[in-house]
Amino acid sequence: MAGAVWGKIDASRSGWVSDPLPVDARVLVRTPPHDGAPPMLQLELPPGVVLGPHRFLADCLCIVVSGGVDCDGEGHFGPPDMRFCGAGHGSAGMRAGEQGAIVLLVATAGELGIDWSPEAPLTTLCAKRVSFGDVAFVDFPDAAGRDTQPVQPLFTDGPHLLRTRFAPDFVAGEHWHDFDTVYCILDGAMQFGPREPWYRRGDLRWVKGGHAYGPEQPGPEGVEFLLLSCGGSISLRWADLEAAPHGRVFVSDRPS
């Protein structure tokens, strides 16, 4: 559906497809077949498989979902490590660990693409990396002074990514963000409005910037998630104080 402004990406309902990778790996295309969602895909790498030199054609955030990988000159990456490469950068080489690896790739600016050609210009040691243990939880700086939940600001200068947990009794009212955002549910469950589906571990949700939604209601065990802002810093604007420039999301806005 062209013109969609939000959607749920459920890995269990997505199909594995072939992709021109130079190794024996599976690629789960997680970008829905419509305009709107940030480009993303998921790689499933068998144990010990080696990826040769490559570079990303757009700014790309790599999240190790399970297993682990070793990047030449950068060390080991495993859950919950995250790696960011700017456009034109990549890795001199990468090897999946003994358990293999599942890696989520999200293009934060531009179309997702990987150049595997041997002559591709490459700058090594260019990635930013962060793990949950590297960053402390802090209070979210809400300009309106409303109650929020503590966050971990994982990346703050491109890309813009935070991790947070909602207690079971916390509800975030209707709000909106300046830029396109992607939610990745790490644990628990959450609903983003009374007419939206429930999201659980492994689910992804995207929404275009400037569209209001909510309230965000966690499940009975609470919820933990990553929030990625594609284009700029993570803002929080309450819809009852500042009208969303593009109105509220509706079920009819969701891709079929």
Same domain assignment for residues 244 and 141: yes
Does residue 67 belong to any structural domain of this protein?
yes
**Out of 166-175, 234-243, 247-256, least confident range:** 247-256
Quick check: 216 and 253 in contact, CB under 8 A? Answer: no
**Alpha carbons within 13 A on the beta-carbon side of 40:** 30
Half-sphere CA count of 209, side-chain side, radius 13 A? 14
What pLDDT was estimated at residue 1? 40
Can you tell me whether residue 164 is helix, strand or coil? strand
Q: For 58-87, what is each residue's pLDDT tens digit?
A: 899 999 989 999 998 889 999 989 999 988
Q: How many Å apart are CA 189 and CA 52, to the nearest integer?
A: 37
Dist CA 187 CA 191 (whole Å) = 13
Residue 124 in this model has a pLDDT that exceeds 60: no
The residue out of 91, 115, 131 marking a domain boundary is 131
Q: What are phi and psi of 55, to 5 degrees?
A: -140, 150
| Position 35 confidence tier, pLDDT thresholds 50, 70, 90 | low
- Looking at the fold, whether 152 and 249 belong to one and the same domain comes out as yes
- Does residue 181 fall inside a structural domain? yes
Q: What does the pLDDT average to over 213-229?
A: 97
Average pLDDT over residues 53-62: 89
Q: What DSSP state is assigned to residue 212?
A: B
CATH number, residue 154 = 2.60.120.10
How many residues does this entry show for the chain?
256
Determine the Cα–Cα distance for residues 165 and 185; give it in Å rounded to an integer.
Answer: 10
pLDDT tens by residue, 145-199: 999 999 999 999 889 999 999 999 999 999 999 999 999 999 999 999 998 999 9
CA dihedral 231, 235, 241, 246 (to 10 degrees): 20
* Percent share of the chain, pLDDT over 90: 54
Which 3 state secondary structure label does DSSP give 251? Answer: helix
Let me know if residue 7 belongs to a domain.
Answer: no
What are 222's two structure tokens? Answer: 């609470």
- The verdict on 117 and 163 lying in the same domain is no
Q: Are residues 120 and 207 in the same domain?
A: no
Q: Does residue 9 have a pLDDT over 90? A: no
Among 131, 149, 183, the domain boundary falls at 131
75: containing domain: 38-131
Chain centroid to CA 82: 10
Domain end (from 131, 152, 176): 131
For residue 121, give the CATH number of its domain.
2.60.120.1030
Sign, CA torsion 241/189/226/213: negative
Same domain flag for 168 and 112: no
Residue 60 covered by a domain: yes
